[in-house]
Every structure is written in C-alpha cells, then in structure tokens.
Amino acid sequence: MGITHILNAAAPKKDLKFLLGMASEKDLLGTVNTGSRYYRGMNITYCGLPSFRHWANISKYFLPAAKFIHKALRNPMSKVLIHCTQGLSHSATLFLAYLMICHDMMVEEAIDHVIKVRCIKPYFGHLKHLAFLNADLVLQQKLKLQGKKTDKKMKKWQIKAK
C-alpha cells in the first residue's frame, strides 16, 4: 500500500491506567489501540487523536488533523491513512475539515468530493461543527477580500506554509 502516515481518529485516551498498561476492555471500547509503538520500525509517521463520543466537540481536532495531513502531503510520495473505528464518521469529518481548511472548499463541496469515492456518514453533531467551521472560513475569506484583519478566532484556522 505504501502508507507513510497514519491519523488514528479513535486512539485510546492516554490516562494513567492506559500508560501503566492497566486499561480494561471497557476503557478501550470504541478505540483502535494502535499507537506509535505499534508502527515502530515500519517507517510510518503516526498521529493519534483520542476517541470521543459522537456528541463531543470534534472541532478541537480539526486544526491538528489538518496540519498533520497537510504536512504529510507536502511530499507527493506520501500516502495518508485516516481511520477511526468504523471509517464513516470521525475520520471522514476530520478529512472534510482538512479539505475545507487547506483547499478552501465549502462544506457541501468537500462532502460532494468525498462521496464520489467512498461512503461516509458523519454524525449530525459533527456536521454541525463542520457548518460552524464553514461559517468561520467564509467570514475569514470575506474579511480578507475586504482587506480587513481577522480576529484571533479566525486566525486559528490558518495553516502556515513551512
């Protein structure tokens, strides 16, 4: 497959029980327990974002995920695998946010782009957060076109090219 980067959108939370190796099956429920140690020696760059419930605020992971994907794909030889427990909601939502932040797509455009190649089913709550992101990005673009400065809230969605 040639995968060079993995974004796990269902990583276990790194609490004390997990770090001491005492996590129970209940603690790992709804996670994909493949951390960076799992990929050691495979020449794969790993990013794990904690698993969260469908009603949780996924938007706090939009920028870290977008930065990870953006940095990886600066090399045209890179292949990024983005996964969660079912591959339909969390991972899809984070990829949609990446398309919106890094490729200036509107939420509808990003969804249309992805569903042409695979089935996705983002939770309603995740769609709501994508709609908020969309509104922020539209406002940011309007202010930019008007030559006005964006406030700190708007700047948080910018990824600096390195």
Residue at 162 is within a domain: no
Identified catalytic residue from 47, 84, 102, 119: 84
Residue at 129 is within a domain: yes
Residue at 161 is within a domain: no
Q: Which pLDDT does position 76 carry in this prediction? A: 95
Residue at 22 is within a domain: yes
Question: Which has more confidence, 17 or 51?
Answer: 51
For residue range 59-76, list pLDDT tens digits in order: 999 999 999 999 999 999
DSSP H helices in 30-89 = 62-73
Which domain, by its residues, includes 20? 5-155
What whole-number distance in Å separates Cα of residue 97 and Cα of residue 113?
12
Q: Which amino acid is at 28?
A: L
Residue at 76 is within a domain: yes
- The CA-atom distances, in angstroms, between 86 and each of 51, 83, 144 are 12, 8, 38
Residue at 17 is within a domain: yes
- Domain containing 65 — which CATH number? 3.90.190.10
Number of domains in the chain: 1
Q: Give me the half-sphere count of Cα atoms (radius 13 Å) on the Cβ side of residue 139.
A: 14
Examine the residue annotation and report whether 119 is marked as an active-site residue of this protein: no
Residue at 160 is within a domain: no
Token look-up 């940095």 returns: 71
H or E segment and range at residue 50 = strand 45-50
Residue at 102 is within a domain: yes
Q: Which pLDDT does position 157 carry in this prediction? A: 59
What whole-number distance in Å separates Cα of residue 123 and Cα of residue 91?
11
- Residue 46 β-bridge partners: 6
